Amino acid sequence: MTDTEPAPAVRETAESIATMEIRGAATIASAAAEALAEQAEAAAEADATASDPEAFRASMRAAARTLRETRPTAVSLPNALRYVLQRMEGDSVDRLRRSVVDASEAFVEQLDRAQEDLGQVGANRLADGDTVMTHCHSTDALACIEAAVEQGKSISAVVKETRPRQQGHITAEQLREAGVPVTLIVDSAARRYLDEVDHVVVGADSIAADGGVINKIGTSGLAVNARERGVPIMTAAQTIKLHPETLTGHTVEIEMRDEAEVIDPEAREEIGDIAVENPAFDVTPPRYMDAIVTEQGQFPPESIVTLMRELFGEGAAEPWAEP
Ligand code: RI2
């Protein structure tokens, strides 16, 4: 390992995030924080960095850049890198290493606590006997449903399959394990089933300063249909999903994924000359979302900017950039 080449553990984590073996905004964030700790341990041993604090710092920044470049939309990833790198301090490699490992552990702990806390808030919105509809697989959204079940409420679920990667199957399995009766449907059946649903519960990959919710493709159509049917919809999102760059007018990049996720190459070949697009996320305007549930309580989407300013000030540092 040289001073700019990330440790093998970092490269493996980056690869797993890019291929979506590790997926879901919160899971990506904790994997990235843990990868930085592994980088710190490796750099404290490597010839080029073990006795040179500046080279150690440079290797941490390079590792963070490798992780940052994997997927563009979930802001929990850069927020995790920011959290750890901003706490890297010390005038010796050993102190630097310790500070990174401590920050990484503190971040992962906070993440788990935040999810538990927001689960309680989200559960309060659900009543005994409710049926919820889910989209994709969100550990934050599941935390709300599971907390409601733990409160003794009887909840059932209509789970959208979520093309093209069918993360709905993971949701279905985890809800079933939590004792929630599950009905799995294809995405296009959602509007038909909304009449039987009391709440829609989704997660978020990023939340913009104007209250726009960036989540798995299909969320915005579901939200519009839920509004038309009079079904409340909430987003469960820890505050690491708040996107600080949107405070200064930046927009959130929507990841475009490989067309092979949508159609297999042979079928495409048979159809002939067509374009295939595969956006992974969409933006639900704040007017179609009833509440954003965080570990700090529930917010109307339009007021989330207040919390964002409190947590991030007016902008976002990039501690992984070369000085
Ligand atoms: P948690 C997922 O994205 C889904 O869009 C989900 O709603 C969101 O991350 C948040 O997940 P992907 O990684 O952080 O499957 O709530 O593309 O687990």
Q: Are residues 212 and 64 in the same domain?
A: no
Can you tell me which atom of ligand 1 is nearest the CA of 143? 16
In a domain, 129, yes or no: yes
Distant-in-sequence, close-in-space partners of 132: CB < 8 Å, separation ≥ 6: 126, 145, 155, 156, 157, 158, 197, 198, 199, 200, 201
Predicted TM-score (pTM) of the model is: 0.95
DSSP code string of 257-268: --GGGTS-HHHH
| pLDDT at 2 exceeding the cut of 90 | no
Work out the pLDDT band at 211, boundaries 50, 70, 90.
Answer: very high
| Structural domains counted in the chain | 2
Distance 56 CA to ligand 1 centre (A): 32
Supply the DSSP string of 57-121, one letter for each residue: HHHHHHHHHHHHTS-SS-THHHHHHHHHHHT---SSHHHHHHHHHHHHHHHHHHHHHHHHHHHHH
Is the residue at 51 inside a domain? yes
Helices 139-150 and 93-124, packing angle to 10 deg: 50
Do the Cβ atoms of 257 and 280 come closer than 8 Å? Answer: yes
What is the residue with the minimal CA distance to atom 12 of ligand 1? 24
Q: Kindly state whether residues 164 and 90 are assigned to the same domain.
A: no
Same domain, 294 and 171: yes
On the question of pLDDT at 10 being above 90, the answer is yes
- Angle at the Cα of 316 from the Cα atoms of 5 and 95, rounded to 5 degrees: 50
Note if 210 is an active site residue.
no
Of 117, 135, 169, the position where a domain reaches its end is 117
Containing structural domain, residue 256: 124-312
Shared domain check, 90 and 197: no
Q: Taking a C-beta distance cutoff of 8 angstroms, is the pair 288, 304 a contact? A: no
Residue 233 lies in a domain: yes
Q: Report the distance separating Cα 140 and Cα 143, nearest Å.
A: 5
**Would residue 149 count as lying in a domain?**
yes
CATH code: domain of residue 31: 1.20.120.420
pLDDT at 3 over 90: no
- The yes-or-no verdict on residue 61 having pLDDT over 60 is yes
Report the Cα–Cα distance between both ends of the chain, in Å, rounded.
Answer: 21
CA distance 16 to 245: 26
Catalytic, 264? Answer no
Q: Which pLDDT band, with edges at 50, 70 and 90, does 313 fall under?
A: confident
User: Could you write out the three-class secondary structure of 186-241?
Assistant: CHHHHHHHHCCCCEEEECCCEECCCCCEEEECCHHHHHHHHHHHCCCEEEECCHHH
Residues 128 and 251 in one domain: yes
The token pair that represents 151 in the structure block: 């409160």
Residue with the smallest CA separation from ligand 1 atom 15 is: 24
Within a domain: 2: no
26 and 56 co-located in one domain? yes
Q: How far apart, in whole angstroms, are the C-alpha atoms of residue 34 and residue 108? A: 8
- Domain contains 220: yes
236 and 281 fall within a common domain = yes
Domain boundary among 83, 117, 151: 117
Q: For residues 137 and 91, state if they share a domain.
A: no
Strands 131-134 and 199-202: parallel
Residues 142, 199: one domain? yes
> Is 24 close to ligand 1, i.e. is its CB under 6 Å away?
yes
Do residues 105 and 234 share a domain? no
Average pLDDT over residues 196-200: 98
Q: What is the CA radius of gyration of the chain?
A: 21
Q: Is residue 321 part of a domain?
A: no
Examine the domain organization and report whether 34 and 72 are in the same domain: yes
Does 50 share its domain with 141? Answer: no
pLDDT digits over 94-136, tens only? 999 999 999 999 999 999 999 999 999 999 999 999 999 999 9
Output the pLDDT for position 188. Answer: 97
- Domain boundary residue, one of 117, 132, 149: 117
Whether ligand 1 lies within 6 angstroms of the CB of 70 is answered as no
Whether 3 is covered by a domain: the verdict is no
The answer, yes or no, to whether any atom of ligand 1 lies below 6 A from the CB of 78, is no
**Residue 1 and residue 46 in contact, taking contact as beta carbons nearer than 8 Å:** yes
Helix (H) or strand (E) holding 144: helix 139-150
Ligand 1 in reach of 136 Cβ (< 6 A): yes
Looking up residue 231, the CATH number of its domain turns out to be 3.40.50.10470
